């Protein structure tokens, strides 16, 4: 399995209940506003969706406080990643990062150049800049998966201006940006100024709905919008995803409570991890997951030991630039995080 | 609008309730077995779907009574049409037919050769055969949209054998095949024998769920399956579509009632249409829609007159080979069909 979130092979299909620390979903769960409006989706089952999805677009505009921007909708952010990456002949991927960037580039015969995060998992802005003229576009996560680091806007400014001046594209994957707790970390406002920016967002993570498959892309660059729309099939969003988007994006209470949770849980969890003897380094995240460098134990061994205790984690060795000394943990609610830390403590005795 | 089913632009957004005779949905509506099991989908919202969708595949095998076949799942049959068409360099499209075949071929730079139905809307088997050596694949509807004609298996046999022998592919779009009321009209059984066959099916029409977006393709040709899967994003089916597929495909009662309805409603509706003075020809359909050739009135005028009465029909002039003297009507329940015939009768006085 190349992704987290597969609780089927080891869990469901063997009748085991596993706690999934491999995928990064808001533990507050599906917003109630979706569940209480689910009948609106049921009512729409028998008709084709609005092929222009005008209501969803309106909700996104309100949610992001944007106007007159182009919006494309995807069956999961996966679709938007694929379609945007496929537009280019040669792309720079900042790695380690979400493996689908690379998979999609290869699928569409897009040449790839890599820019590696340094050993502190910081972005190497100079390296990106030095390679930028060789490619048409960059794709980068903000926060980036698996380390949870964010883009430093000051340091990124030169790259942004270079892209704008030279008609290049910067794809910023902000699937996790809500978890930063600070809307200023997002590039959506900049996207209203810069033609070069294409921002990808998702409902999967923050609104706890990996099952619903809904993501979107925004840019003021109408050429990109048109090129992507030409590649899309009609009615790519189903009626349940449609209602989920419309209802949840305006659910201020859920958003507020989620931000309270992540702020507190992230701090507590990181503190707890400091005490684990086989952790060499905890990379401080701005997202709801944390990258760990292990010592004295491999990712494989830790994975197996934790599985015996009913926890699934994400081994990180298939992220480019990482090896089996890296693993990624989700951040859940304090109660679960405490049990998880306790289990990690228990592992100490076994190595 | 290039498709039927757009009740938004003229209807919903203007506050008008329209009766949609432009899209072809089973009037029995969403199977109750889906609605009563919707909580299973809700339960799955917070987890990623099984990336292999093992339960859906099992349901499809049971439904089609197939074994050891390759299955690919799509976010609507649209996705399966696109991916299968995109595999080839040169394809023959039997037209007039569903416009997405052509759109997807163009999108993927697939060269197109056409084989036209004759003026009775019958398949020109000789023409297909004579052109087959020039292409890698054929795509054809069974029943075909917009005319509702089916493939004559005897006459098709030579084409099938030629394809098998010469390693070509025949894509048969069976999105409407359940409405024929005869499982022998489907090529799913032949697909267990012939490596050249790729069959596309959908839940949209027969199970009345255009909102759910679920289609699939089956073939014993593992190479095709692998090539399509390589092009697909993970988790392309959302949790509601997953439960819909699992529950509805095994709903024998719904299937039985639907077949009773279509058999009777189709006959009655066709009879009613015979009396309309501005209809030159009714092409007898094996599906739940009927292609009409008009006289003394254009499709455009009829569309406008019917819209005033609250009915939306499908003008057929954008189907290749047809002009504005063709329209397509859906077949609904007897009560609605009678009102519709009455409204058509009323139009007679206006021309």
CA B211, chain centre distance (Å): 15
Largest CA distance in chain A: 59
| Residue A135's CATH number | 3.40.640.10
| Residue A21's CATH number | 3.90.1150.10
CB-nearest to A231 from B5, B47, B107 is: B107
Q: Is B23 within 8 Å of A51 when comparing Cβ atoms?
A: no
Reply yes or no on whether the pLDDT at B300 is more than 60.
Answer: yes
Across B290-309, average pLDDT = 97
Neighbours of B294 (CB within 10 A): 20
pTM score, two decimals? 0.88
Model pLDDT, residue B102: 97
Model pLDDT, residue A233: 87
Cα(A146)–Cα(A91) distance, integer angstroms:
20
Residue of B nearest to A29 (CA): B46
Please, are residues A7 and A20 in contact by the beta-carbon 8 Å criterion?
yes
Joined together, the tokens standing for residue B114 give 């056409």
Query: Do the domain assignments include residue B313?
Result: yes
Q: Is B48 within 8 Å of A240 when comparing Cβ atoms?
A: no
Non-local (6+) Cβ contacts of B326 within 8 A are B146, B291, B292, B293, B294, B299, B315, B316, B317, B319
Model pLDDT, residue A173: 98
What is the DSSP code string of A95-135?
ES--HHHHHHHHHTT-EEEEEE--TT----HHHHHHHHTT-
Radius of gyration of chain A (CA): 20
Joined together, the tokens standing for residue B53 give 């969708």
Model pLDDT, residue B2: 64
Indicate the number of domains in chain A. 2
Residue of B nearest to A53 (CA): B8
Residue B234 with chain A: CB contacts under 8 Å: 3, 78, 100
Does one domain contain both B17 and B58?
Answer: no
Q: Is B238 within 8 Å of A23 when comparing Cβ atoms?
A: no
Examine the fold and report which residue of A206, A227, A250 is the final residue of a domain before the chain moves on: A250
Q: Is B13 within 8 Å of A45 when comparing Cβ atoms?
A: no
Helix or strand (DSSP H, E) at A323: none
Q: What percent of chain A stands above pLDDT 70?
A: 95
Best probe of the A interface among B31, B57, B213, by most A CBs < 10 A, is B213
Q: Which residue, B180, B184, B131, B176, is CA-closest to B154?
A: B184
Model pLDDT, residue A204: 84
Q: Is B239 within 8 Å of A211 when comparing Cβ atoms?
A: yes
> Mind listing the pLDDT tens digit for each residue in B76-94?
999 999 999 999 999 999 9
Residue B46 with chain A: CB contacts under 8 Å: 25, 29-30, 208-211
Reply yes or no on whether the pLDDT at A50 is more than 70.
Answer: yes
Model pLDDT, residue A125: 98
Does one domain contain both A192 and A308?
Answer: no
C-alpha pair distances (Å), A162 with each of A111, A112, A170, A189: 21, 20, 10, 18
Non-local (6+) Cβ contacts of A147 within 8 A are A96, A117, A121, A283, A285, A291
Residue A100 with chain B: CB contacts under 8 Å: 233-234
Confidence of residue A17 (pLDDT cuts 50, 70, 90): confident
Query: Do the domain assignments include residue B82?
Result: yes
Gap from B158 CA to chain A (nearest CA, Å): 34
Q: Is A238 within 8 Å of B240 when comparing Cβ atoms?
A: yes
> Mind listing the pLDDT tens digit for each residue in B227-239?
999 999 888 999 9
Examine the fold and report which residue of A221, A250, A279 is the final residue of a domain before the chain moves on: A250
Cα(B344)–Cα(B279) distance, integer angstroms:
10
> Mind listing the pLDDT tens digit for each residue in A239-283?
999 999 999 999 999 999 999 999 999 999 999 999 999 999 999
Confidence of residue A343 (pLDDT cuts 50, 70, 90): very high
Across A134-161, average pLDDT = 98
Does one domain contain both B142 and B267?
Answer: no
Model pLDDT, residue A48: 86
Reply yes or no on whether the pLDDT at B1 is more than 60.
Answer: no
Neighbours of B306 (CB within 10 A): 23
**What average pLDDT does the structure give for chain B?**
94
Beta-carbon pairs below 8 A across chains A and B: 158
Model pLDDT, residue A8: 66
Does one domain contain both A193 and A287?
Answer: no
Q: Which of helix, strand or coil describes residue B191?
A: helix
Model pLDDT, residue B7: 62
Does one domain contain both B105 and B123?
Answer: yes
What is the DSSP code string of A157-189?
HHHHHHHHHTT-EEEEE-TTGGGGS-GGGSSHH
Query: Do the domain assignments include residue A259?
Result: yes
Does one domain contain both A91 and A199?
Answer: yes
Does one domain contain both B186 and B286?
Answer: no
Neighbours of B120 (CB within 10 A): 10
Query: Do the domain assignments include residue A3?
Result: no
Confidence of residue B6 (pLDDT cuts 50, 70, 90): low
Please, are residues B205 and B258 in contact by the beta-carbon 8 Å criterion?
no
Does one domain contain both A149 and A290?
Answer: no
Gap from B222 CA to chain A (nearest CA, Å): 19
Cα(A175)–Cα(A198) distance, integer angstroms:
13
Does one domain contain both A323 and A209?
Answer: no
Model pLDDT, residue B48: 86
Reply yes or no on whether the pLDDT at B11 is more than 70.
Answer: no
Joined together, the tokens standing for residue A127 give 């390296």
Q: Is B236 within 8 Å of A76 when comparing Cβ atoms?
A: yes
CB-nearest to A47 from B51, B210, B234 is: B210
Model pLDDT, residue A47: 87
**What average pLDDT does the structure give for chain A?**
95
Q: Report ipTM for this prediction.
A: 0.82
Residue B231 with chain A: CB contacts under 8 Å: 107
Examine the fold and report which residue of B250, B274, B308 is the final residue of a domain before the chain moves on: B250
Helices vs. strands in chain B: H and E counts, helices first? 13, 13
Plot region of B65 (φ>0 → left; ψ -120 to 50 → alpha; else → beta): left
Structural domain range at position B25: 12-29+253-348
Does one domain contain both A230 and A208?
Answer: yes
């Amino acid at each position: 399995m190349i992704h987290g979130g597969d609780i089927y092979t080891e869990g469901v299909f063997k009748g085991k209940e596993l706690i999934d620390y491999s995928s990064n979903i808001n533990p507050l769960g599906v917003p109630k506003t979706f569940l209480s409006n689910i009948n609106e989706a049921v009512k729409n089952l028998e008709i084709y969706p609005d092929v222009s999805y005008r209501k969803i677009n309106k909700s996104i505009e309100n949610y992001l406080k944007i106007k007159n921007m182009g919006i494309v909708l995807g069956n999961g952010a996966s679709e938007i990643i694929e379609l945007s990456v496929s537009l280019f002949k040669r792309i720079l991927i900042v790695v380690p990062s979400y493996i689908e960037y690379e998979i999609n580039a290869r699928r569409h015969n897009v040449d790839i150049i890599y820019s590696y995060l340094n050993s502190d998992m910081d972005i190497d802005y100079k390296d990106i800049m030095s390679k930028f003229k060789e490619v048409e576009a960059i794709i980068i996560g903000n926060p980036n998966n698996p380390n949870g680091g964010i883009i430093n806007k000051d340091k990124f400014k030169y790259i942004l201006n270079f892209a704008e001046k030279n008609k290049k594209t910067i794809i910023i994957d902000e699937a996790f940006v809500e978890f930063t707790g600070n809307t200023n970390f997002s590039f959506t406002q900049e996207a209203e100024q810069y033609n070069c920016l294409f921002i990808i967002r998702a409902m999967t993570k923050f609104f706890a709905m990996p099952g619903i498959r809904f993501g979107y892309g925004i840019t003021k660059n109408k050429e990109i919008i048109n090129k992507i729309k030409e590649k899309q099939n009609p009615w790519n969003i189903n009626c349940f995803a449609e209602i989920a988007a419309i209802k949840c994006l305006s659910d201020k209470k859920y958003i507020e409570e989620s931000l309270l949770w992540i702020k507190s849980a992230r701090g507590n969890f990181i503190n707890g991890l400091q005490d684990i003897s086989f952790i060499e380094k905890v990379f401080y995240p701005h997202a709801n997951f944390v990258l760990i460098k292990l010592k004295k134990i491999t990712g494989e061994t830790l994975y197996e030991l934790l599985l015996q205790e009913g926890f699934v984690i994400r081994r990180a060795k298939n992220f480019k630039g990482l090896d089996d000394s890296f693993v990624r943990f989700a951040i859940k609610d304090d109660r679960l995080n405490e049990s998880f830390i306790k289990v990690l403590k228990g592992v100490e005795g076994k190595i």
